[in-house]
Chains A and B, each alone.
Chain A
Amino acid sequence: MDSNGGGEVCRILRELKTLKASKSDIERRISDLEAQLRELNLNNGTVVPNGSSCTLMSTVDSGFGHGLSADMIYRYSRQLLIPSFGVQAQSNLLKSSILVVGAGGLGSPALLYLAACGVGRLGIVDHDVVELNNMHRQIIHTEAYIGQPKVKSAAASCRSINSTIQIVEHKEALCASNALEILSKYDIIVDATDNAPSRYMISDCCVVLGKPLVSGAAVGLEGQLTVYNYNGGPCYRCLFPTPPPTTACQRCSDSGVLGVVPGVIGVLQALETIKIAAAVGEPLSGRMLLFDALSARIRIVKIRGRSLQCEVCGENTAFTQKQFSEFDYENFTQSPLSTSPLKLNLLPADSRISSKEFKERIVNGEANVLVDVRPPHHYKIVSLPGSVNIPLSRLESRLPEISSFLNETKERKALNPDSVPSLYVICRRGNDSQRAVQLLHKMGFTIAKDIIGGLESWAQDVDQNFPTY
């Protein structure tokens, strides 16, 4: 492409960006005004004259005793026609308020269905922004919102599906100090978060406030679903009184997840929420649904009831709101509430090297061996040329290979007898590489050095075209 063409592309991209920004601004203003109008209509019972946008406005009770307007009857007609759901359940639903914590893989489908089915008020809590690697599973967001707050993006999608319900945006991280205030405004809480401390915190808060909790989780190709603190049923702590070791807490950003798997669980979370809000059916309390996508199996198991010894909901425990708001959930679970990746610092400075310096040494023709300690399925995605893959979990048993790589390199580079090639260790983010170097030092490879920040720092500081994941 010639330079003029390039300039043209830039201009178009700039204009698109501006237009999209003003478009979402206008949509936001429209839905704000519509919400205001609805409030006004409900408050003074005014009948708005039929106009072009009357479908949004005639929310006034049509006088059949169930509170549904003509528009509501039409919009929700396919639900009203189900004999075991009907107008009473829909009316209950329209009076309910639901809070979804997390607008990610679980929250996306849950929010879309909850908005569509006609809950009265739908709250969304999230502090994150939309990223490209979210798109495969967080289907509520569109590419246009990359870089923008998830709450804003999710709220816009919900409004575009159903402009007649109230949507509340909570653009903040949920923590013990604000959870009581936020959760107390809703009837039912949906846990669509992605970490252990949040799960304990949300469950405890629901116990303290007496709210049912619809809890879902998904990693890899498996999902789990249950309802806690419902009608005398168990809370999260009844099941899991002691937090698991941090090494057992898999995260989607490390272990991966097939997009449709949280999709299935999130949809089921919406379903359980609708059943509770509408007061129909038997909610999944005292039972847990286990979903195994690979073998196409769903198993529903019976779990224990409320534990009398539970430290939060048990017989003789008085876990108060004050105790809750002062409880340190990160310390309790030994893991952070936010999903920011761990940054270890295990090694002395002289056992570490930056990715830039490593690059210089390669350019200068230094003789070295580069060991990549990531699991093989990571190594297959992308790796540095010339590196050898020895996963951290197998390192100890494969040390002889490192010795022979060092010897080979020495011969190939025809080094003089006293000098040895350098030994570098790399991983994805620079944590496992430090653990590996610690092990190598202990096993006699004292020359081993860790590449600080791993492949992520290589992609950031050395080669911007190097793929990240």
Chain B
Amino acid sequence: MQLTLEFGGGLELLCDSVKIHNINVALQNGIEKLTMKDLLSWVRTNLIKERPEMFMKGDSVRPGVLVLVNDCDWELSGQLDTTLEEKDVVVFISTLHGG
């Protein structure tokens, strides 16, 4: 499944400072759908190069990270259970405090 992932608010520093990743996630045999939970573990294994605790806590993202699926807060689509579709855009953004 082809997806576009974007990291912002400093999270890109965890994946070699690259903000946009066009990825292709292979689906398991016999399984048709990919959930956000599956995607998070894929990201952790394949994209996060350092300090994974700055990205994840347990099987979700750490506090202070907003997850957007097609420009929509993942709280509105079922969080970890959100089902992804071909060409979806998923954004991970750390909240900023500076000013």
The answer for the CA separation of A147 and B54 in the assembled complex, in Å, is 37
Return A128 CB to nearest CB of chain B, in Å.
12
Q: Are B99 and A393 in contact (CB under 8 A)?
A: no
Does B96 interact with chain A (Cβ within 8 Å)? yes
The answer for the CA separation of A368 and B97 in the assembled complex, in Å, is 40
- A351 neighbours in B (Cβ, 8 Å): none
The answer for the CA separation of A210 and B50 in the assembled complex, in Å, is 42
Q: Are A248 and B99 in contact (CB under 8 A)?
A: no
> A217, A247, A266, A304: which contacts B96 (Cβ < 8 A)?
A217
Does A120 interact with chain B (Cβ within 8 Å)? no
A339 (CB) vs chain B CBs: closest residue: B98
Given A248-B62, A250-B10, A302 contacting B99 (CB threshold 8 A): no
Q: Are B71 and A216 in contact (CB under 8 A)?
A: no
Q: Are B8 and A292 in contact (CB under 8 A)?
A: yes
Q: How large is the interface on A (under 10, 10 to 19, 20 to 34, 35 or more residues)?
A: 35 or more
Q: How large is the interface on B (under 10, 10 to 19, 20 to 34, 35 or more residues)?
A: 20 to 34
Q: Are A217 and B97 in contact (CB under 8 A)?
A: yes
A interface residue numbers (CB < 8 A to B):
102, 104-107, 192-196, 199, 216-220, 222-224, 239-245, 247-252, 255, 257, 262, 265-266, 288, 290, 292, 295, 299-304, 393
24 CB contacts below 8 A, A to B, read: A105-B99, A192-B99, A199-B97, A218-B96, A218-B99, A239-B95, A241-B63, A243-B64, A244-B62, A244-B64, A244-B95, A247-B54, A248-B10, A248-B54, A250-B96, A250-B98, A257-B98, A299-B71, A299-B91, A301-B68, A301-B91, A302-B72, A303-B66, A304-B76
B interface residue numbers (CB < 8 A to A):
8-10, 19, 50, 53-54, 62-66, 68, 71-73, 75-76, 91, 93-99
Give 6 A-B pairs besides A244-B95, A245-B54, A302-B76 with Cβ atoms closer than 8 angstroms. A107-B99, A195-B97, A224-B93, A242-B63, A245-B62, A303-B66
